[in-house]
Amino acid sequence: MYDFVVVANRLPVDRVGGRWQASPGGLVAALAPVLRARGGCWVGWPGETNTSLAPFSAGGIELVPVPLDEADYTDFYEGFSNSTLWPLYHDLIVAPQYHQAWWERYVAVNERFALSVEKQAAHGATVWVQDYQLQLVPGLLRERRPDLKIGFFLHIPFPSPDLFRQLPWREEILSSLQACDLIGFQRGTDEQNFRGLLPADARVRTGTFPISIDPDAVAPGDPARVRELVGNPELLMLGVDRMDYTKGILQRLLAFERFLEAGHQATLIQLATPSRERIEHYRETRREVEAAVGRINGRFGSVGRPVIHYVHHGVGKEELGSYYAAADIMLVTPFKDGMNLVAKEYVACHPDGSGALVLSEFAGAAVELDQAYLCNPFDVDSIVRAIEAAADPDPQRMRTMYEWVTTHDVDAWAASFLEAL
């Protein structure tokens, strides 16, 4: 039995060549020391369907696997989590789909997670539930275990009350979340949106806790090598995202195209990790992005000199640091984003005031990184204007943001949430 239990959809591990390896990520970096100090465990899905595993440890963390079968993966993960909640919570960039069978599977999987937590949690333990896939866990736990202290953190935005009310199962989710001792949101607006759905006398505590990065995990690396690889351009821009329709990758390519049309010289590196590829909207996003890359390279590139270097796979953190440090302008243009850690990682790789960040107003990060060149991704010309301004940047802006990011890291985030809880 554990006094501290973190529960998230995914365990922070991947199986590589038959062995479990800790997967890198800010959340695990922040929580590993807390888990070790408090003798805690992490409950989650190990990332492979149809496997049943006993609890094990990796990277010094006790892990408790929750199994998912193929139907869970389709209806709970791809269905309700990522084709209902994800688009609804990101303000309907694509239309959410409402299916009773997906909902029932979401309930069943949340019950499985809650049962697993219940078995691991000692009397009076603190349980920290993560994210939109597990919103029913607080309510299910509270019914069975009134002794627990339950916190919930939502990593993605919470939509305005009028949008949330579309959800046929809105009452069930709201009532579960109200079983928490504390609910954390990324931005004040998310918290206000949630509170707007509650009666005035609701007693649940909420707070705003903007997540951050581990600045030591992304280091500037070798920027000169990256610049050389792409032919030492005059102006180098960079995009780094999961291939997701919320990230506005196509919009930024269109802005880049207009910037070149105006006669400017520049090169863009776009790194895009594959994501949720069995969902049609994700495949469509990839097709649109790849068509635009081909067209723009066809118009403005020459043999051996493309203007866009595009890859559709992840890169290691070390390499990523070199890309961040090499880029004169970072393009972060989501239509909607809970926070966007890429923006903070870029800033952390520019301690000397070099570089410039073009950032969507609709990313949670824009609240803290208000010295970025802000843009509206729904208006391609607004991205172009931000790029033009960022091409001649004021170094004080990057220095101010660097100071902020390095003093407000992910450890501080976890500590402030747990202290409030």
Interstrand relation of 19-22 and 41-45 (parallel, antiparallel or unpaired): unpaired
- Closest-CA residue to 404 (of 365, 377, 358, 375): 365
**Per CB under 6 A, which region of 57-65, 220-228, 229-237, 340-348 contacts ligand ADQ?**
340-348
Task: Report the Cα 250 to chain-centroid distance in Å.
Answer: 19
Question: Is the CB of 2 or the CB of 12 nearer to ligand ADQ?
Answer: 12
Give the one residue of 190, 191, 328, 345 binding ligand ADQ; rule: CB under 6 A.
345
- Classified as helix, coil or strand, 184 is strand
Residues between 291 and 320 that touch ligand ADQ (CB under 6 A): 314-315, 320
Residue 149 CB, nearest distance to ligand ADQ (Å)? 22
Question: Is the CB of 328 or the CB of 345 nearer to ligand ADQ?
Answer: 345
Question: Is the CB of 272 or the CB of 308 nearer to ligand ADQ?
Answer: 272
Q: Alpha-carbon distance 161 to 241, whole Å?
A: 28
In which residue are the tokens 């940047």 written? 393
Distances (CA, A) of 140 to 108, 135, 148, 180: 11, 10, 12, 11
Residue 49 CB, nearest distance to ligand ADQ (Å)? 21
Residue 344 CB, nearest distance to ligand ADQ (Å)? 8
Q: Alpha-carbon distance 58 to 22, whole Å?
A: 6
Question: Is the CB of 180 or the CB of 217 nearer to ligand ADQ?
Answer: 217
The interface mask with ligand ADQ, positions 177-216, x = CB under 6 A, is: ----------------------------------x-----
Contact status: 339 vs ligand ADQ (CB under 6 A):
yes
Question: Is the CB of 155 or the CB of 408 nearer to ligand ADQ?
Answer: 155
Residue 124 CB, nearest distance to ligand ADQ (Å)? 28
Phi, psi of 65 (to 5 degrees): -75, 140
Residues in contact with ligand ADQ, counted by CB under 6 A, come to a total of 19
Distances (CA, A) of 104 to 97, 101, 107, 158: 14, 5, 5, 22
Residues between 149 and 168 that touch ligand ADQ (CB under 6 A): 155-156
The interface mask with ligand ADQ, positions 273-292, x = CB under 6 A, is: x-------------------
In which residue are the tokens 């301004």 written? 389
Distances (CA, A) of 3 to 37, 119, 130: 11, 12, 17
Helix and strand tally (H, E) in the chain? 17, 16
Question: Is the CB of 272 or the CB of 369 nearer to ligand ADQ?
Answer: 272
Contact status: 125 vs ligand ADQ (CB under 6 A):
no
Give the one residue of 6, 35, 88, 341 binding ligand ADQ; rule: CB under 6 A.
341
What letter does residue 133 receive in the DSSP assignment?
G
**Per CB under 6 A, which region of 13-21, 62-70, 228-236, 239-247 contacts ligand ADQ?**
239-247
Contact status: 418 vs ligand ADQ (CB under 6 A):
no
Residue 147 CB, nearest distance to ligand ADQ (Å)? 29
Give the count of beta carbons closer than 10 Å to the beta carbon of residue 168: 11
Residue 264 CB, nearest distance to ligand ADQ (Å)? 25
Give the one residue of 176, 322, 340, 382 binding ligand ADQ; rule: CB under 6 A.
340
Question: Is the CB of 191 or the CB of 300 nearer to ligand ADQ?
Answer: 191
- Classified as helix, coil or strand, 338 is coil
- Classified as helix, coil or strand, 161 is helix
Residue 395: its H or E element: helix 395-407
Q: Alpha-carbon distance 387 to 383, whole Å?
A: 6
Residue pair 362/377 in contact by the 8 Å Cβ criterion: yes
Contact status: 338 vs ligand ADQ (CB under 6 A):
yes
Which residues of the shown chain bind ligand ADQ in the complex (CB under 6 A)?
Answer: 155-156, 211, 240-242, 271-273, 314-315, 320, 337-342, 345
